[in-house]
Amino acid sequence: MLLDLERGRFLVKLARTAVEEYLRSGVKIEPPPETPPDLYENRGVFVTLKTFPQRELRGCIGYPEPIMPLVLATIDAAISAATRDPRFYPVGIEELPKLLFEVTVLTPPQPIEVPPEELPKAIKVGRDGLIVRCGYASGLLLPQVPVEWGWNEEEFLAQTCVKAGLPPNCWLDPRCQFYKFQGQIFTETDPYGEVVEEKIS
């Protein structure tokens, strides 16, 4: 189910508030009383932090599967993106005026049931995100990532393998299972600014 802009705006502001309060006091906020009831449905979500105006990645963590209410997952993912992304040092409170907050709400992942060589035809850059699971390894890339990097479908598959710590050609290994999902992206246009829904294709 698609969210309207009002709910997207609510989630982005909630993500920023959660990070601000956590960095200031170490407290994880509770959902506010005015939270729309449908935001308590279980949904997958990722929160992405980017520098402004460079738009370089500063943190991104989330829940691929719909295992908890969207409003709670957004709070948790926002705090984790700011403080627990192993690729970056934790965000300092003085950085917040120079960061953009972005929330991507996911559809449930669907297994892609085709022979490996047909995977590029079964996905579409600009529409799908990807998850690979192979043994104990797993990796995920959001739908906006291949568009930002200018990848085609084969490069997208290879980079999802790399994200999982696997060889780029692991997508041709029949033991590796791929899943696709779609995402709805809500982002600030500038820090503390207007929130818009971003179309990626």
Answer yes or no: do 188 and 95 share one domain.
Answer: yes
Answer yes or no: do 94 and 140 share one domain.
Answer: no
Widest CA span in the chain: 51
Answer yes or no: do 100 and 12 share one domain.
Answer: yes
* Distance of alpha carbon 32 from alpha carbon 170, whole angstroms: 44
Answer yes or no: do 10 and 92 share one domain.
Answer: yes
Answer yes or no: do 96 and 114 share one domain.
Answer: no
* Distance of alpha carbon 55 from alpha carbon 107, whole angstroms: 25
Tokens of 6: 């009002």
* Distance of alpha carbon 32 from alpha carbon 49, whole angstroms: 22
Answer yes or no: do 139 and 129 share one domain.
Answer: yes
Answer yes or no: do 102 and 188 share one domain.
Answer: yes
Answer yes or no: do 72 and 129 share one domain.
Answer: no
Answer yes or no: do 142 and 170 share one domain.
Answer: yes
- Give Cα 30 to chain centroid, integer Å: 21
Predicted local distance difference test score (pLDDT) of residue 201: 65
Predicted local distance difference test score (pLDDT) of residue 200: 83
Answer yes or no: do 186 and 132 share one domain.
Answer: no
Tens-of-pLDDT digits for all 201 residues of the chain? 899 999 999 999 999 999 999 999 999 999 999 999 999 999 999 999 999 999 999 999 999 999 999 999 999 999 999 999 999 999 999 999 999 999 999 999 999 999 999 999 999 999 999 999 999 999 999 999 999 999 999 999 999 999 999 999 999 999 999 999 999 999 999 999 999 999 986
Range of the domain at 57: 5-107+182-198
* Distance of alpha carbon 187 from alpha carbon 70, whole angstroms: 16
